[in-house]
Amino acid sequence: MHYSLKIKKLDIQQSYFVGKAELGRKEYNVNIQGEGSKGKSILFPFEAPEQPVLVRLSGPKAFVEEFLQYGGRSEWIEIDSDLMTSYAADHQDEFDYIEIYPDINE
């Protein structure tokens, strides 16, 4: 199973992004920032196994994906990745979806 969240907005703030994404009729806050002391990680409000998670920002003309360590549950979707943050800085308006694949073995 994977989650495909429609990006409603993604705004740059100094060195990170904040926004909103929607899954079904539920809206979630999004934060994309560089790696902290825990390294590459993602937190989100869904159950997931304790293993790396494939995360993709995608649109018709651009995408970036990376395996991130699942850091646990959060009300927000929190992505800590230098690669995704820097790529988003150059392609911010080209993304339509955040795709999360918590169990790549399915």
Tens of pLDDT, residue by residue over 32-53, are: 999 987 799 999 998 888 889 9
Mean pLDDT along residues 20-33: 97
| Separation CA 56–CA 97 (nearest Å) | 8
Judged against a pLDDT cut of 80, whether residue 12 lies above it is answered with yes
pLDDT at 103: 77
Give me Rg for the CA atoms of the chain.
12
57: confidence class by pLDDT, cuts 50, 70, 90: very high
